[in-house]
Amino acid sequence: MSSALRRAALTAAVLAGPVGWVTVAAWGLPTALGAHRRRLRPVVSGSPHFSDGAFHNTLPTPALAPANTRDGLLRQWHEERHVGLPGGPIPLERPELPDDAAELAVTWFGHASALLEIDGRRVLVDPVWSHRVSPSPVFGPTRLHEPPLPIEELPPVDAVLISHDHYDHLDLPTIRSLLATQTAPFVVPLGIGEHLRTWGVPEDRVVELDWDGAHDVAGLTLTCTEARHFSGRYLHRNTTLWASWAIAGPRHRVFFGGDTGYTPAFSGIGARLGPFDLTLLPIGAYNDAWHAIHMDPEEAVRAHGDLGGGVLLPIHWATFNLAFHPWAEPVQRLLAAARRRDRTVVVPLPGQRIDVLDLPPQRDWWTAVGSTAGEHPASSSGVGSSVVARALTRLIALLPGA
């Protein structure tokens, strides 16, 4: 064999591993990214919240820390990404879902995924059943607990609501499963419908709304309400709208916060569309670097009051390791803040169904899980987490300053 052939063979051997890994990591990537911004533009350009090629919050809202503080954030990605892991298995409850939907009940599946029962109807919000919230099957945050119920065992729902297009709220494999197992419409903020159409969801199952737009389905009024966040499934950000949702039946009302920073708009939503018997509000994945787009637990209690909320159920915690606070800290801070303001909070196990009109006694199931955090060196934030940290280092460095 000539020296040139030997060098070629050696090079191929050296590259085989990395190239193979990259090939697997990128498998299905274009499809998971969703609709290109060229396809989105005709759908979204008429919105008063869209200008200069992007959607905007009502208040100026940086999605990341200014460039001069990013070194500290990147250091956290490298050194503290394990802080948010639980110390042991997260207990689950397999839900027992009745044949007929209740007057007012909720089943929390983890993170922001929940099944609402309102005046005899069912609404599924931000359903994510995948093991990994990422466009890639190889890298990205993995679940800290299994889904409490196979998605195929969900009862028929009347609508599926989506808050925005981030991977931990809009999940391609879950959408495909629902497309096959359900007949309900997907009611979404502007632009997300184009993602769904790209993935094969038929036009008659897509309803897109701007803020303050409403859609009636099965006797419920679903109103797209303001949130303070951002969107994007790749480097082009804010090409689709983000939202919270007000769900009103003849007798009961529920507010679903999705993923949002605190905004004074909550007071207006409460005045126009509330009061709400139940609010589902995000309490986790907070950090000073993105304080404007993720509420902390104390702000969630404040928002609950602004909305005229009755019972508060915390979401956006426990299922994925997306920040640097201890795993149980969000709910511990939430309960302390709720006690100070005399607010009613219910913290179900993932999978637990709660009758909101007949609340069960609260059981502290989270302290034991959180108290042993850090004692399990085998725990991982997901295969490829170190790769993600390195990738984030490069990607964040490329983003423009706020």
Cβ-contact 290, 282 below 8 angstroms: no
pLDDT in the model for residue 79: 62
pTM of the entire predicted model: 0.87
State the helix-helix crossing angle for 297-306 and 265-273, rounded to 10 degrees: 40
Encode the chain (402 residues) as per-residue pLDDT tens digits.
444 444 444 334 333 444 443 333 344 457 888 888 788 888 889 999 999 999 999 999 987 665 555 555 555 555 667 889 999 999 999 999 999 999 999 999 999 999 999 999 999 999 999 999 998 877 789 999 999 999 999 999 999 999 999 999 999 999 999 999 999 999 999 999 999 999 999 999 999 999 999 999 999 999 999 999 999 997 789 999 999 999 999 999 999 999 999 999 999 999 999 999 999 999 999 998 899 999 999 999 999 999 999 999 999 999 999 999 999 999 999 999 999 999 999 999 999 999 999 999 999 999 999 985 544 433 444 434 434 443 443 344 334 333
What is the model's pLDDT at position 136? 81
Superfamily of segment(s) 1-93+101-402: Ribonuclease Z/Hydroxyacylglutathione hydrolase-like (3.60.15.10)
Where in the chain are the domains? 1-93+101-402
